[in-house]
Structure 1
Amino acid sequence: MIVPIIGNVTYSITLDPTVWIFDDRKILLEELTENKLSTAEETDEIEKASKRWEKELDPQFHKPPVNRSIKQFEREKILTSSYVMPLKDFINNAEIKTDVEDVTLVTENGDYNITIDDLKEGYFLFALDGKPLKENGPVHFLYQDGANINDPIVGIKKIVIN
């Protein structure tokens, strides 16, 4: 149930989608399909630059946000909702080396080549109806624009940065 990021990166990272349910960065699948853009992308450039600067100065920046307390309503919502995780933070933390243009998603059914920009802006579907993706899992890849929402890349076992 883990997905390693390997290849032309400074740091090989292992993703564990089973713990993402407690991560504040997760997005409801319904919100993704309705908006097709995350709220971070809707903010203006000045606000983005300001947030990046504040994060760089914050010593707690390198710790992922985690839900500290989950109320009963939120617990029920988690157990019945479908969630996606934006990949940008993970890809940035792996520190991709220069001149990388494409990525190979290694799956049970063969390899898929996508651009590095598609990967950075993409999402991993990791929970469907509150349950982890055991069949064709552990994650499904969705493009940012939702073009493959009905036919995601499934069964991803490894991300190879070429």
Structure 2
Amino acid sequence: MELIIPIKGAVKFTITLDPTVWIFDDRKIDLDEFFSGEYEYKDELEEYTKVTSAHWSREIIEGSTVPPTLQTEKKYERTKVLTSTYGVELKPFILNAEPLPEASSLIIETTDGEHTFPLNELDSLLLKFSHKGQPLREDGPVHVIKKDGSNINKPIKFITAFRIE
């Protein structure tokens, strides 16, 4: 099984995806929370702006203080990474490859065949890259899951490439 997945075809840039590093990506989604309805979408820029604004306001009013270290929070995050199921959205990766204007479909190549989706449905696809803290070594490196959960029990597995046509 190859761990690198190319995005190729009718794109300006042929790029490769390495799912083994996504565990460190801030864009990762806890799929257990996502499909149980507990997931809350956060705009990273808006979150950063709020935190920075609050910190700036506090420093103006109270003066500069050294924040305490949050060892328990770090330990919780480490434990969560080792036990949770994670995924990322597919759309940003396809958009980074810059599909050509004539491109209309995404073909997911697998060892078992091909699956085709219109490019306007990219918002509905997730890439699952870890299950209960473990990479998807046997049938991965990623699984394609629809956001509506309709194929959660039968995701697209054994993916070898994403081709834009």
The TM-score with structure 1 as length reference comes to: 0.77
**One-letter amino acid of the structure 2 residue matched with residue 23 of structure 1:** D
Structure 2 equivalent of residue 158 of structure 1: 161
**C-alpha RMSD of the superposition:** 2.3
- Indicate the structure (1 or 2) with the bigger Cα radius of gyration: 2
In the aligned structure 2, how far is the partner of 1:83 from the partner of 1:105? 20
Post-superposition offset of 1:117: 2.4
Structure 1 equivalent of residue 19 of structure 2: 17
Q: Percent identity?
A: 43
More displaced 10-residue stretch of structure 1: 99-108 or 13-22: 99-108
Quick check: 1:97 aligned with 2:93? no
How is 1:27-42 mapped onto 2 (pairs within 5 angstroms)? Answer: 27-35=29-37, 39=41
The TM-score with structure 2 as length reference comes to: 0.75
In the aligned structure 2, how far is the partner of 1:159 from the partner of 1:116? 12
In the aligned structure 1, how far is the partner of 2:123 from the partner of 2:11? 14
In the aligned structure 2, how far is the partner of 1:150 from the partner of 1:121? 16
Structure 2, unaligned stretches of length 5 or more?
Answer: 47-72
In the aligned structure 1, how far is the partner of 2:101 from the partner of 2:124? 18
Q: Deviations over 1:73-93 (max 9, x none)?
A: 111110110001111211111
Aligned length: 137
Structure 1, unaligned stretches of length 5 or more?
Answer: 44-49, 52-69
In the aligned structure 2, how far is the partner of 1:131 from the partner of 1:161? 29
How is 1:1-162 mapped onto 2 (pairs within 5 angstroms)? Answer: 1-35=3-37, 39=41, 71-162=74-165
Post-superposition offset of 1:121: 3.2
Runs of 4+, deviation exceeding 4 Å: none
Q: Deviations over 1:51-103 (max 9, x none)?
A: 7xxxxxxxxxxxxxxxxxx8221111101100011112111111111132211
